[in-house]
Structures are given as C-alpha cells and as structure tokens.
Structure 1
Amino acid sequence: MHVHVRHCLSVLAIFLLSGPALGQAVPSVIGNRAELATWSDPLEALGTLRADESVTLSATVTDIVAEINFQDGQQVERGQLLVRLEDAEEQAQLRSAQAISDERRNALGRTTQLQERNLAPRADVEDFQAQLRQAQANIQALEARLANYQIKAPFSGRVGFRNISTGTLVTPGMALVTLDKLDVMKLDFSVPESFLGRLSTGLSLSATTAAYPDDVFSGQIASIGTRIDPVSRSIDIRAELENPGMRLRPGMLMEVIVQQRVRNAVILPEAALEPSGDQHYVMLINQDGGTARLERKSVVIGERRYGDVEILEGVAAGDLVVVHGLQLARDGLEVRVLGITDDETGVRALLEADR
C-alpha cells in the first residue's frame, strides 16, 4: 500500500514538473521604446485677452458729423480718415490767414528790395518780418484746430460698431468708434508668488479657449509684474500671443499652460510602470536574435502628464519596455513580442492584428 502511494506521488511530481511546462505557451507582450523628448513642468492659470493696442476715438470739439469713412468691423490703416466733422468755417478762416500771410510776404519782399537800395529803413524790414511770422503762426494754429475736425486712425487695426450717423451733433469726449490692434494679443493672468523664481520673460506658453476648443495658441511671457498682491499673494503676468486670422478677441477667457523648466527627458507611458510601495519598476525587453527575455528594473520617476511619465534613472532612450502583458511578466521570463506601440499604432490595433 505504501509502495503504491509512493509510486503515485512520483508520477504526479513528474507530471507537475514536466507536463505543463512542456505544453505552456510563451506569454505575449507589447512593448514601447523610451523616447528622449522635450519636457517641462506645466503651470496652469486663467487669463484674459487684451488687444495689443486699443483706443476709443472721441471728439474734442462740438460740431456736426459731415463724413463717415468706415464700416462695422473694417480693417483700417494708420492715418486713415474715419470721421470728418463740419469744418467749413474753420477752412474759411484758414484761407483768410493764408491770404494775409501772402500779403505780408509780398510786403516784406518789396521793403527788403528798397532797403537794399537804401530807400527804406531797416526797421520797416524787421516789422514786416515779425508780421509775417505772426501770420504764419495763425495758419499753424488754424491747421491744428482743423485737425480736431478729422478723426484719423492712430494705428492700423479693426474698428468696432458704428453708432453715429452723418448729421449727428457730437460734443467733446463723446465716443465715436473703437479701434483695436488684433494681430498680436496681450494675455494677462496671475500666478502664486511661490512660482516667481521659476518664471522669466521669453518663457513659452500655450493657451486655449472654449470658442476654439480644438486649437492651441502659442506665445511667450512678455513681462512680469513688479508687485505682489498682498491679499491674494499672486503676481500678474503679461504674455503675447500671435492671432492668426484675427480670431481671438479682447475680453476672452483663456486657459493658460506655462512651460516651466524646459528640458530633455526620457519619457515612457505610465502603463509601463509597476508600483511597489514607494518604488517603481519596469520590465525591460532584452532581444537577442529571435529570443526576447524580460528584465525587471527599478526606476526613478519625475513628473507625470497626459498618460506619460518622466524617467530620471533606470531606463535610457531607446530601451524597450513592456506596456501590455505585465500581469504575466516575470523577471527572466521568455516572451513573444506582438509589436511596439508608437504615435500611430496603439495596443488595441496590435492585439486585433494578432487574432
């Protein structure tokens, strides 16, 4: 009886050691190569857009609108006449002043000729010179007054809505039209003072808005505020964004991501990590000819972002690690590599291709 039991146990041991091992299939895994990529620590904030240049044009005199030379939302050039007020009286005064100036210039010429022949005293020449300068000063004063009757664009930009009509009586300070320079936008936002040491002018950032959810607008920090808000303990930052197509508008709310500590780092998908307490591990795939064998490596990780993780130590760029099949992965285990994921090929596509 005891001999029979011993014989059965021996057969069972041989079956357990040899039978399943001989028939077991090589586990399949999917790998991903560690990449050396540009990496940064994102700082998120909310900001408000402002036009690069913005002004509300208004009248400085009281008179009637005689001419309007723009349409709603029109792009105008610097110096372009937008609104002209009725200036017939001032134009008549200017012509009168110019006539007086011509008269005094002629009188000065005649007196100068007489004085050169000693037929007129030098004092008369000096009097006519003074009178001519006075007439010219009157012309300059009238030309300056006439400039107030012509509302011109101080810079190139886009006008807003036209809320006046020809014949409207305008008064000093009355808003006539807005003008915004929109090819470059200013983005104002605040960050906690603790980040001040990490920020500098020229630092890159990206911004998005709900109006264009699929678009990312790039820019850089143009200036950093000189004071910390004593209540919020934050500092104001101003960035500049390019505005292709003039799609961005002043007043828009933007979600801002500032790229801090830009550096080159080794990047892996988070799916490659095996956490164990305070430690993290990955399974390296060492390929030798037609054989692929796993090696468990301890790694030191940095920042995480969007499913990727920064590897500080333990893995070099180009190393192949397991991102799918970690449940069966063991140190030293021989495996079959189904494929390698990249930006165009995902795990699902490789699994479906292996069916």
Structure 2
Amino acid sequence: MKTRNERKPSTTKRMIIMVGIVGLLLAALIGWNILGKIMGQKAAANMPVPPQTVTSMKVTTQSWQPEQSSVGSLRAVQGADLAFDVGGVVTAVKARSGQQVEKGQTLIELNADDIVAERRQLEANAALLKLNLDRARKQLSYKGISQAEVDTAEANYKAAVAGVSQQQALIDKRQLRAPFSGRIGIISLTPGSYVRAGDPVVTLQRLDPVLVDLNVPQDKLGEIKTGQAVVLSLDSFPDHPFLGEVTAISPKLDPATRNAQVEASVPNPEELLKPGMFARVAVQVGEQKSYLTLPQSAITFNPYGETVFLVKPSTGKGADGKSNLPSAQSVFVTTGAKRGDQISVLSGIKEGDEVVTSGQLKIKNGTPLIIDNSSMPPDDADPTPQEK
C-alpha cells in the first residue's frame, strides 16, 4: 500500500497538466480574436468608402479694413436737466414736450407778482433820483451847489439803478430759459404746479451731432488716432450704420482697468440717435488689406494645428463606367484675423481652391464627396441677430 508521501507527486503532475490545458485554450481564444480582427480590417480596407454629403465654396480674396471693435454709450454734444434756482408756483408753460427750442427762449414761468411790484417801485425811485441828479448838475454849472452834493446825487441814482437790476435778476430766476438751442424732453408741469428749488423739471438736449464714449485697452491704444473713421451699429437700426470720427483721446488711463476713454463724434441730422443709447463701435485703423477668406465653419481647430478639407476633383471614371466623385484631402492652414462669420487664411491654401465648409466630422482623407450647397453655413462679414 502506497504511503501519503508517495501519492503527492502524482497529484502535482495532474495540476500542471490542467494548467497547461487552460493556457492552451486561452492562447487559442486570443489568437482567434486577433485573427478575426486582422481579417475584418482587411475586409474593411477592401470595402469602398461610402460618399458623404458636404457643402463647399471657392476660396476668394477680399479687402478687409482693419478695425478695433468696442462698445460705446451715446451722449449729447450739449445736454442738461434744467431746474429753477428758486421755488414757486408755475404760472405759464410756454413750450411743448419734444419741441425744438432756441437759445434764450422762455420755457416755464413761476409766479413773480410781488417781485415785479417791488421792481416797479424801485424803477420809480430811480427815475426820481435821475431827476435830482440832472437838477444838481445844472445847479453846479452856475455854482449853486458844491461838487460833493452832485456826487451824492449821482451815487444815489446809481444805487437805485442797481436795485432795479437786482430785482430784475430775481424775476429772471422765475423764468426758465433754454441755455442753448436743442430739443426739450417731456414737460409734466402745468400752471398751478409747485416747483422746489433745484428739482429738474425738463431736459434739454442738442442731438446733432452726438458723442460716443468708448473704452480702448492699453495694448490697443497705439492704433487709435484722432480723425479716424468710426462705424456705429445699433440694434434699433440694424440696417443703418452711422459714420463718424474720433475727436478726442483721454490723456490718462483708468488705473483699475488700464483702459483709455475715447470720444467720437457722429452726425445726427435726423436725430435718430439718442443720448444714453448703447452702440457697437468699430474704429477703422490702418489701411485696407487683402485676405483669403473662408467661413469660420470651414476651419477644424485641433491641438496640433488648424486644418481644412480641400475638394479634389475626380480623376476619371470607375470600373463601372461612371464618373468618380471628388474626394476630400486634409491640409494644414494658418489663420489670422476674424470678421463676423469669416476668418482670414494666411497660408496653406490659394485662391480658387474649393474647400469643404460643413460636414467635416463625417469625412477623412480620400472620402468621396457629394456637394450639396442648397444650405450654406453663415458667411457674413457683419452678422446681426435674427429674430425667429
């Protein structure tokens, strides 16, 4: 009878054999998978690539005006919220809301009956003192009185005239006059309304021209000069650009933002532009330049570079006698400035090349292409929001 120690080697051999069998099975399974993949890849390589539908366009050269874009706020070349220096009751409103008024025109009057009465009293006293002064001068001519008495009469008369002028100034404070020509705003006062001193009662704005305030970053300030043309775009008038020019550049920068304030003047004969409006401002800097341009949708941006797909024309007919489709070819490009939906291309393509503008995600080098330009991507130099 075999002992326990004699049976142990036989068990170990059986385990080794079983492990070997399992290893052979795994190796066979892995090999089968690898072989299947290789055969699948060969079959896929031999299968024709299905064509893909894309849009395309010819590369063209366009002249671009270099611009600096910013946002600005409009203000009147002259504008003020008018108020009375004194309080009182309104007796007359002599202008209409929104009316064009001239400099010095009376707009609103306050009650000044008591002051007018005092002025008349002072005028009467001044007239009397003027008669006394005339008599004193005649008496002096034949030595009837001394020079001192004439001087006293003259001083009294001048003091009376000054009193009349002072009283007239008090009356004028109760008349609100236009300090410059312009258009007034809404007048909500009516006769009988009480006005407190210092409370704004109506706005007056000179609207032609209007000024635009915009901020320019420190690194772009060197390109801005007075006299340069500016173009304003407003949501209120999407199809109506407004042209003006740079009139002033602030001599100091805001230390918090490092921006400089720039002022532009824009003619406004139709008074379409109003103070307080928001506007997009493009300052035209430098000379016009010619660029090869594409829609931004045509560029594929990658970590290793920017690419486009060229449409390569077919080389002839296939084995079935039908014409071959054009194919895609990827090329690297260098891009530059952007303008609206467009982007400039500095190198990598030439004028006249046909470039895929949409559908790049479903193609690769050599993919046959079906060109369908019935729906093209946006290619607007100055796009505006579209209401739907």
- C-alpha change, 1:247 and 1:174, in structure 2 (3 Å) is same
Tell me the TM-score normalised to structure 1 length: 0.67
Q: How many residues align?
A: 276
- 1:31-70 per-residue CA deviation (whole Å, 9 max, x = no partner) reads 99968x6732x11111111111111111111221111011
Partner of 2:244: 219
Change (3 A) 1:307 1:55: closer
Pairing partner for 1:251 from 276, 286, 294: 276
Q: Which letter maps to 1:197?
A: G
Looking at both structures, which has the greater relative contact order when contacts are Cα pairs under 8 Å and sequence separation is at least 6? 1
Equivalent of 1:39, from 65, 75, 78?
Answer: 65
In the other structure, the counterpart of 2:83 is 58
Q: Please state how far the C-alpha of 1:238 moved relative to its aligned partner.
A: 1.7
TM-score (norm 2): 0.62
Q: Cα RMSD over matched residues? A: 3.6
Measured after TM superposition, the shift of residue 80 of structure 1 is 0.8
Match among 198, 202, 205 for residue 230 of structure 2: 205
Equivalent-residue separation in structure 1 for 2:262 and 2:77 (angstroms)? 15
Q: Percent identity?
A: 28
In the other structure, the counterpart of 1:13 is: none
Aligned residue number for residue 173 of structure 2: 148
Equivalent AA in structure 1 for residue 185 of structure 2: G
The one of 112, 115, 120 equivalent to 1:87 is 112
Equivalent residue, structure 2, for 1:138 = 163
Q: Does 1:183 align with 2:213?
A: no
| Partner in structure 2 of residue 263 of structure 1 | 287
Equivalent residue for 2:352? 322
Matched, 1:163 2:188: yes
Change (3 A) 1:322 1:99: same
Residue 331 of structure 1: aligned partner: none
* 1:277-331 superposed Cα distances (whole Å, 9 cap, x missing partner): 9999xxxxxxxxxxxxxxxxxxx99755468888999xxxxxx9636699xxxxx
Name the CA distance, whole Å, in 2 between partners of 1:165 and 1:306.
Answer: 51
Aligned pairs (5 A) from 1:9-48: 39-40=65-66, 42-48=67-73
Instruction: Measure, in 2, the Cα distance between the counterparts of 1:126 and 1:234.
Output: 65
Distance in structure 1 (CA, Å) of the matches to 2:195 and 2:263: 36
Query: What secondary structure is seen at the aligned counterpart in 2 of 1:166?
Result: coil
Partner SS state of residue 270, structure 2: helix
Distance in 2 between the 1:56 and 1:307 partners?
A: 43
TM-aligned CA deviation for residue 144 of structure 1 = 1.3
CA contact (8 A) 2:60 2:293 kept: no
Query: Which structure shows the higher strand fraction?
Result: 1
Partners in 1 of 2:223 and 2:199 — Cα distance? 46
Shift of 1:232: 2.3
Contact kept, 8 Å, 2:64 with 2:291, in 1: the verdict is no
Equivalent residue number for residue 139 of structure 2: 114
What amino acid is aligned across from residue 287 of structure 2 in structure 1?
Answer: R
**Counterparts in 2 of 1:325 and 1:226: CA distance versus 1, 3 Å:** closer
Find the counterpart in structure 2 of residue 128 from structure 1.
Answer: 153
Question: 3-state DSSP class of the match of 2:287?
Answer: strand
1:186 deviates by 1.4
How far apart, CA to CA, are the structure 1 residues paired with 2:74 and 2:288?
31
Q: How far apart, in 1, do the equivalents of 2:345 and 2:290 lie?
A: 5
CA contact (8 A) 1:265 1:310 kept: no
1:222-252 CA-partner distances (Å, limit 9, x unpaired): 2222332233222222211111311111111
Structure 1's unaligned 5+ residue stretches are 1-29, 281-299, 314-319, 327-355
Q: Say if 1:265 and 1:312, in contact at 8 Å, map to a contact too.
A: no
Q: Is the 8 A contact 1:68 1:83 kept in 2?
A: yes
1:101 aligns with 2:126: yes
Q: Tell me whether 90-99 or 208-217 shows the greater mean CA deviation.
A: 90-99
Structure 1 residues 148 and 188: alpha-carbon distance in aligned structure 2, compared to 1, 3 A threshold: same
Matched AA of 2:261: D
Q: Which range moves more in the overlay, 146-155 or 112-121?
A: 112-121
- For 2:241 and 2:134, locate their aligned partners in 1 and report how far apart those are by CA, in whole Å: 70
Q: Is the 8 A contact 1:269 1:323 kept in 2?
A: no
1:110 maps to a residue whose letter is R
CA distance in 1, matches of 2:343, 2:193: 65
Please give the alpha-carbon distance, in whole angstroms, between the structure 2 residues aligned to 1:305 and 1:206: 14
Q: Please, which runs of 5 or more residues in structure 2 have no aligned partner?
A: 1-56, 299-304, 309-333, 357-388
What does the per-residue CA deviation read over 1:159-215, in whole Å, with 9 as the maximum and x for residues that have no partner? 111121111121211221111111111111212111111112222111111111111
Q: Is the 8 A contact 2:250 2:262 kept in 1?
A: yes
